[in-house]
Structure 1
């Protein structure tokens, strides 16, 4: 994560934006007398919001963490998203 002043970020704005969008770089921008802000790509921001939403419910968070633990331990199972009958009903291949 890169940190820079508001003044520096303004002087290098296009370069900072390119780093954030192309390199997935997070940039903390500081301003005297103000709270710092973080600049992230829209994709990263949406991913963070989705994760926060999924983890908001303690029960859902526990299920997700348990599922991740099972996968890491090699106890996961590969499954099709649609079974054959549902696929036929929907006309999916």
Structure 2
């Protein structure tokens, strides 16, 4: 995670954007006078975070995912063949 000033972000916006996309990281833009800081991240990183929040949003789904991770770590994972889409 990088922290930069508003002035630096304004002067180097392309570099800031290229960095967050390349590094799959976030950059915090710090502003003076308690105006509130901001976070810059790639759309892919944002979408990934939103998907994770969605998958963990219900206790039952969170438990199922935790159980699947435990099984994988214990070497109990089994490969499966994916079904083909119907083309609808």
Q: TM-score range by the shorter chain?
A: 0.7 to 0.9
Q: Runs of 5+ in structure 2 lacking a partner?
A: none
Structure 1 residue 25 corresponds to structure 2 residue 25: yes
Structure 1 residue 41 corresponds to structure 2 residue 42: yes
C-alpha deviations, 1:3-58, integer Å up to 9, x for none?
A: 01111111111110110112223101111212222111100100100110010001
| CA drift at 1:73 | 1.3
Highest Rg: 1 or 2?
1
RMSD of equivalent CA atoms: 1.8
Q: Runs of 5+ in structure 1 lacking a partner?
A: none
Match of 2:6 in 1: 6
With normalisation by structure 2, the TM-score equals 0.87
- Give the number of equivalent residue pairs: 86
Match of 1:74 in 2: 75
- The structure whose residues are more often helix, as a share, is 1
Match of 2:56 in 1: 55
Runs in 1 of length 4+ with deviation above 6 angstroms? none
